[in-house]
Structure 1
Amino acid sequence: MNTVLDWLDSPAPERGIHYYRNGEWHLRDYADIASAARRTAAFLHANGVTKGVVSLLIEEPETFVPAFLGTMYAGATPSPIASPVTFGGHEAFTEHAAAVLGAAAPAAVLTEERLAPLAAEACAKAGTGAPLILPDPAGLPADDGLAARPAELALLQFTSGSSGTPKGVRVTGDNLTANVRAIHGWLGVTSEDSCSSWLPLYHDMGLIGTFLGSVVAQIDLWLMSPVDFIRSPARWLDCHGRHGVTITTAPNFGYGYATSRVRDEDLAGTDFSAWRVAMSGAERVDARVVADFTTRLAPYGFDARILTPCYGMAETTLAVTGVRPGQGARIVRPSGPLDTGAPVTVAGSGTLGTDRPDDPAGWIASCGTPVPGTTVDIVDDDGTVLPDGRFGEIRVAGTSVADGYESPDPAASEVFGADGLRTGDAGFLLDGELYVVGRIGDSIKVRGRKVHAEDLEAALGTLPGIPPGRCAVALGSRDGRSEAVIVVEAPGDDWLDAAAGVLRAALDSTVRVTLVRSRRGTIPRTSSGKPRRRLLWQRAGDNTLTGDVLHRTHDGDRPERATTPGLDGAAA
């Protein structure tokens, strides 16, 4: 059986991973990485670990790579745990890690020296025993001719938890091999390509889309940490403008952040003409953000046609659909109600990266067509397939759909049906291309049409004074009445009147609205940075959401402008 480990037997010469460390790039070739992986497997065997799940609490990319591959080589199932930097504090992280360990029931927890105290605390809370601490590379045992024995369960990938408690997705060896091949087929990867990434390796997009996708193809990977990217996004762009790297992927936030932080002197002398794939996934694509990115880099050879929005999730291993490289991505603005089963009317269209809408609200970027081996349907509430151009739930089938959840709740895996995976995402197909509107549970009906939280967040995020990504909207119903809770992490209130105007235009008097100004870090987020809207809704309901209520509408009352600390009564 072909596996993602086959390359270890004959690693490509003079190719490998360029790690960004101490301000410089350092190459470790694939032969060296293969040796480190085999020796890590020997280390696990020496500690009695030959099967079962191995939870990986490792933040440093140069340590994570051989640990992940070595776990697979040893016959065990790797299960990465999110980095501590994604949580609000020490206690929040150890609680999360302990919950993940409780669900994973690992045979071992593998960590690095720097994170050993946190790992030990999480293990103690979960009752899993002391973690194994990886020694320095020189301290790893010889592999003594150890042969690869990959487990049937190739990966236990915990979901980011945007719609509830994180669950472990059971990714088989066949799933993983199929999805990596599908990504290669979709992108047309050849030996002439190379890839850059700053995405975290514990998350499916960074783990499978860039890391495994690169090592299986044996192409050069330029790998930096998310923290390094935040410090210097110009270093990421340098991969493409100075080193000729051809492929990358990032969420919408990454393109916007790079645009705002890169300086003219950073771009001087760069040439982006070799860059042929710029994927965008994990969150909604903002056409204005992408247009600004293209405008900034176009004088240096960047071509908007390389922009390739995509759609995927842990439950499908990773990739589901994607725009074909070089094709250019379409953007559309639907009009009228988006109701299940109803036809979608397109009031406007354009090209991503070329056209910049005056108002980004309501504009949706195509996520392309299904990757090889995958089919996508839009279905109604009963699971009946809807024709092209109709709105409903996205259902996915194919060789990459995972083998259910590892969860204490046996009902959790019911979304994995004989006809495919019910994703819980709403969208439509148009001329065979997928457009993703948002989570089904994150919407309410207003005047007969559905309003999605993502649309409101996009509109509010364009207002002066509201920093990008610092707004979250939770929608739902209490006491039989629709309600919207909006949290803005921004100082002052100069943005308040404009925000109230956006909400009035999108909602009506039947919807109770509470707008809260809070400190940065108040919005609960998943390990990949998405707002946890259900948790936000819960906190508003039980009055544990902190902040100042600046705007509130009551039953039948006119909106009031307030500066009252706390949320007492705000979500009654």
Structure 2
Amino acid sequence: MGGTCVLMDPMSFVLKPLRWLSLISQYQATTSGGPNFAYKLCTEALLSHDDLELDLSSWSLAFVGSETVRKDTLVAFSEAAARYRFNKNALYPCYGLAEASLFVSGGFYSNDTTPHEHPEKFKTPEQVSCGKPANGIELIIVDPLTRQLCPPREVGEVWLSGSSISEGYFNKPKLNEQVFSAQLEDLQSESKFLRTGDYGYLSEGELYVVGRLKDMMIINGKNVYPEDIESCIDICPHQRTGLQGTSAFSCDIESDEKLIVVQEVGKNTQTTSIEKIKSDIKECIVGSFGVCPHEILIIKGRGLPRTSSGKIQRSKAKTMYLNGHFHSRQTVE
């Protein structure tokens, strides 16, 4: 009985991602995990070192959550960590939120399993399953406008019901009525549901999370999700060494919703290549989504706002854009 829990300051990880893997190796941890971007940072760090003394063979549950999980990230990390005895079958994409006492669904990932392409889009990053709901959780996908159930593989809002769902936020009765007491329009279920604000779909009983309801963009009549734009740029065939963080969001410009992309580049990027980078990004977005970005801004590395754990703050980046903190003709020196 009993066990050992090792805590790590998020900023220590951001400054040196390999510290996380070193602690797993040192303590022979069995369970640990983080967001998609954490595995991406570790992959980059592993590939830049050849003399690491790591043993990740004890790591049997490597959960991946908190943000959209990408196939390319999981595959790249598995390959980079394999030399340190990491078992790719330990990867465990999952979905949860505080209002549901955290865990909602999850399942072990297999590289042999073909992730789904997004049912609403063409040539977008493949979706990774977040597994089946935990026991005691009722998970349904609902059209947020009609409040009717969506059929399998149709994108809608994720609604939850169950004993682990919170009764509401402290001293916020009006918000609680909207968020925690949702019911289907046709009363197909007498249950009251938590509206998660997340977009997703079900296929063969497994959950695929697409993005946040409030983040969805409608560009020229097409539903576009910022996570998909950012991931597309990250895996774009034209991607060149030196690209760093990306933030995509929409703004109302001249009464139309327009797509804005802010792209960080490394300090060694030649100023003469900035227009080429913009052109490549535009080609990727147009080719994958059929929409054209209104503006692509190239800024210095670490110029985007981030949380203490290193996650890019998209809404804050949008505010900075609207306040003129980014400049379309900014050079990188």
Shorter-chain TM-score: what band?
Answer: 0.7 to 0.9
SS in 2 for 1:454: helix
Amino acid at match of 2:206: E
Q: 1:499 aligns with which of 232, 257, 281?
A: 281
- 1:343: which partner in 2? none
Distance 1:535 1:377, change over 3 A: same
SS in 2 for 1:332: coil
1:14-68 CA-partner distances (Å, limit 9, x unpaired): xxxxxxxxxxxxxxxxxxxxxxxxxxxxxxxxxxxxxxxxxxxxxxxxxxxxxxx
Q: 1:375 aligns with which of 123, 138, 159?
A: 138
SS in 2 for 1:253: helix
Deviation at 1:312, TM superposition (A): 1.3
Q: 1:546 aligns with which of 316, 325, 328?
A: 325
- Contact 1:536-1:545 within 8 A present in 2 as well: no
Deviation at 1:324, TM superposition (A): 4.3
Q: 1:334 aligns with which of 89, 111, 118?
A: 118
Q: 1:523 aligns with which of 286, 290, 304?
A: 304
Q: After superposition, where does 1:238-387 map in structure 2 within 5 Å? A: 238-262=22-46, 263-267=49-53, 270-324=54-108, 331-335=115-119, 337=120, 361-380=124-143, 381-387=145-151
Deviation at 1:448, TM superposition (A): 5.3
Distance 1:244 1:522, change over 3 A: closer
- Contact 2:201-2:208 within 8 A present in 1 as well: yes
Distance 1:518 1:545, change over 3 A: farther
- 2:240: which partner in 1? 464
Distance 1:507 1:308, change over 3 A: closer
SS in 2 for 1:331: coil
- Contact 1:482-1:512 within 8 A present in 2 as well: no
- 1:482: which partner in 2? 257
- Contact 1:331-1:366 within 8 A present in 2 as well: yes
Deviation at 1:514, TM superposition (A): 1.6
Distance 1:325 1:442, change over 3 A: closer
SS in 1 for 2:296: strand
Is residue 216 of structure 2 the alignment partner of residue 435 of structure 1? Answer: no
SS in 1 for 2:294: strand
CA distance in 1, matches of 2:110, 2:30: 12
SS in 2 for 1:264: coil
- 2:162: which partner in 1? 398
SS in 2 for 1:397: strand
Deviation at 1:375, TM superposition (A): 1.7
SS in 2 for 1:487: strand
- Contact 2:130-2:208 within 8 A present in 1 as well: yes
- Contact 1:481-1:512 within 8 A present in 2 as well: no
Between 1:517-526 and 1:314-323, the stretch displaced more is 517-526
Deviation at 1:474, TM superposition (A): 0.8
Deviation at 1:331, TM superposition (A): 2.0
Amino acid at match of 1:265: D
Q: After superposition, where does 1:124-135 map in structure 2 within 5 Å? A: none
Distance 1:441 1:479, change over 3 A: farther
**Aligned sequence identity (%):** 28
Deviation at 1:449, TM superposition (A): 3.8
Name stretches of at least 5 consecutive residues in structure 1 with no aligned partner. Answer: 1-190, 192-217, 339-346, 348-358, 550-562, 566-572
> How high is the TM-score relative to the length of structure 1?
0.49
- Contact 2:217-2:249 within 8 A present in 1 as well: no
- Contact 1:395-1:423 within 8 A present in 2 as well: yes
Name stretches of at least 5 consecutive residues in structure 2 with no aligned partner. Answer: 183-191
Amino acid at match of 1:251: P
- Contact 1:305-1:328 within 8 A present in 2 as well: no
Distance 1:476 1:405, change over 3 A: farther
CA distance in 2, matches of 1:532, 1:512: 20
Amino acid at match of 2:156: G
> How high is the TM-score relative to the length of structure 2?
0.80
SS in 2 for 1:366: coil
Amino acid at match of 1:499: I
CA distance in 2, matches of 1:545, 1:331: 39
Deviation at 1:264, TM superposition (A): 2.5
CA distance in 2, matches of 1:438, 1:535: 17
- 1:224: which partner in 2? 8
- Contact 2:282-2:293 within 8 A present in 1 as well: no
